[in-house]
Amino acid sequence: MKDFLFYAPTEVQFGKQSEELVADLVKKYGGTKVLLHYGGQSAKRSGLLDKICRLLNEGGIEYIELGGVVPNPRLSKVKEGIALCRQQGIDFILAVGGGSVIDSSKAIAYGVPYEGDVWDFYIGKAEATTCLPVATVLTIPAAGSEMSEASVITNEDGDIKLGYSNNICRPKFAIMNPERTFTLPPYQTAAGVTDIMLHTQERYFNTECDMTIADTIAEALLRTMKECVFAVLENPEDYRNRAQIMWAGSLAHNDVTGNRLTGDWATHSIEHELSAMFDVTHGAGLAVVWPSWARYVYKENMSRFVRFAVNVMGVENDFTDPEGTALKGIEAMKRFYRAIGMPTTIRELIGRDITDDEIKEMASKCTRGGTITQGRFKKLTTADIEAIYQLAR
């Protein structure tokens, strides 16, 4: 068993009354002048943004607004935010939205005190040693960015989507009111649950597979999500199940389901190229990639895939045929994705056939031209990744 660090300092205020605490929490964590960062119209339309503004005003906290974050958040918006923060003397960033807004906020937070180009961190040219404090009022359960150390940004100049992880940017607090997720459309809801589950699956398929306590917790979370998602697709205002999903989104990425450093993460890397090139929803892309990844790698550790099939997917264990059981588990996952309205082929995802050249380009970018392999459960070369894209066509 590898040594590990568990560090989840974010103060999570969860529930119907949680938004009321926003001004007190900003003050508690030292904010005096806030960048209020958000995405499109939904936060305005729902009245959430107005409420947060009113509460900050009542709390005597100054703020500047910066909206317009899009899914697969862009480097250009990050740079706009950095300039604005410097100009206005901002000392705290409050992300109102989902993973894209939080990731954009983290990038701005790194960039403000850094003299160089913030993209340096994402391409591995520099390590951040300080950043502005970030916190969030979460509206989309999916990315887990509200408790995680990760931030993923897309550089439009070349459609390059890269992640940067650093414990210093873990949010100071996260306000989570499940009622704010009632209006999430079915597709976003299902894509969010897919992402939540994948954060757990990436850890579950790891180099060692010997951390039973994390594995059993991971299985519990995955099984629970499989139930909850159908409940909220049927009844979007089912508070209890919206709450399970929202809280699971944090647990799936705060490392209680396993050590992120021994997890596989190839599915995420392979998907990042799809969403960078075609600007598709990350969770939907994961549903397309995972079954193909699984079929390509399962022989690496058959018993783990048997365990997944039996303990997570509820497949009857055929003890005489481990491979058959493993494959049934992968098929069951694919059927689950279809049942919740997720695509399971690239064609369904992007609305047309993908070309061989596009696949080659993505596989090459994914391994930075072949010098970097992806995946820890099974190391994947450019050719392997190309084969996985082919399986997923």
The nearer residue to a copy of itself, 85 or 147, going by C-beta atoms, is 147
**Per CB under 8 A, which region of 105-113, 121-129, 235-243, 337-345 contacts a copy of itself?**
235-243
174 burial level (CB within 10 Å; 0-12, 13-18, 19+)? buried
354: DSSP letter:
P
CB contact at 8 A, 18 and 135: no
**Per CB under 8 A, which region of 14-22, 26-34, 185-193, 282-290 contacts a copy of itself?**
14-22
CB of 3 to a copy of itself, least distance (A): 3
The nearer residue to a copy of itself, 42 or 244, going by C-beta atoms, is 244
Query: How far apart are alpha carbons 126 and 292 in whole angstroms?
Result: 34
The nearer residue to a copy of itself, 80 or 179, going by C-beta atoms, is 179
Give the length of the chain.
Answer: 393
Query: How far apart are alpha carbons 378 and 86 in whole angstroms?
Result: 44
Q: In sequence order, what are the residues at sequence separation of 6 or more whose Cβ sits closer than 8 angstroms to the Cβ of residue 207?
A: 2, 262, 376, 377
The nearer residue to a copy of itself, 13 or 382, going by C-beta atoms, is 13
CB of 265 to a copy of itself, least distance (A): 21
CB of 7 to a copy of itself, least distance (A): 5
CB of 287 to a copy of itself, least distance (A): 21
6: contact with a copy of itself by CB under 8 A:
yes
Backbone angles phi, psi at 320, to 5 degrees: -85, -10
94: contact with a copy of itself by CB under 8 A:
no
The nearer residue to a copy of itself, 262 or 374, going by C-beta atoms, is 262
What's the half-sphere exposure (Cβ side, CA atoms, 13 Å) at 64?
Answer: 17
Query: How far apart are alpha carbons 200 and 222 in whole angstroms?
Result: 7
200: contact with a copy of itself by CB under 8 A:
no
The nearer residue to a copy of itself, 18 or 72, going by C-beta atoms, is 18
CB of 14 to a copy of itself, least distance (A): 5
Range 236-255, binding a copy of itself (CB under 8 A): 239-240, 243-244, 247-248, 250-251
Range 16-55, binding a copy of itself (CB under 8 A): 16-18
252: DSSP letter:
T
CB of 76 to a copy of itself, least distance (A): 34
CB of 224 to a copy of itself, least distance (A): 5
Backbone angles phi, psi at 340, to 5 degrees: -95, 10
The nearer residue to a copy of itself, 90 or 251, going by C-beta atoms, is 251
Range 272-291, binding a copy of itself (CB under 8 A): none
Structure tokens at 165: 């992880």
CB of 68 to a copy of itself, least distance (A): 31
325: DSSP letter:
H
Residue for token pair 């709450």? 243
Range 165-194, binding a copy of itself (CB under 8 A): none
Nearest CA-CA partner of 42 in 183, 217, 178, 236: 183
Pattern of binders to a copy of itself over 203-232, x per CB under 8 A?
A: -------xxxxx-xx-xxx-xx--xx----
The nearer residue to a copy of itself, 219 or 384, going by C-beta atoms, is 219
The nearer residue to a copy of itself, 128 or 270, going by C-beta atoms, is 128
Residue for token pair 């190309």? 386
CB of 163 to a copy of itself, least distance (A): 22
Structure tokens at 23: 């001004």
Backbone angles phi, psi at 291, to 5 degrees: -60, -35
**Per CB under 8 A, which region of 15-23, 51-59, 83-91, 133-141 contacts a copy of itself?**
15-23
CA 137, 139, 140, 141 dihedral sign is positive
Give CA 186 to chain center in angstroms: 18
User: What number of chain residues touch a copy of itself (CB under 8 A)?
Assistant: 40
Q: How many CB atoms lie within 10 A of CB 165?
A: 14
Query: How far apart are alpha carbons 196 and 165 in whole angstroms?
Result: 18
Residues that bind a copy of itself (CB under 8 A): 1-9, 11-18, 210-214, 216-217, 219-221, 223-224, 227-228, 239-240, 243-244, 247-248, 250-251, 256
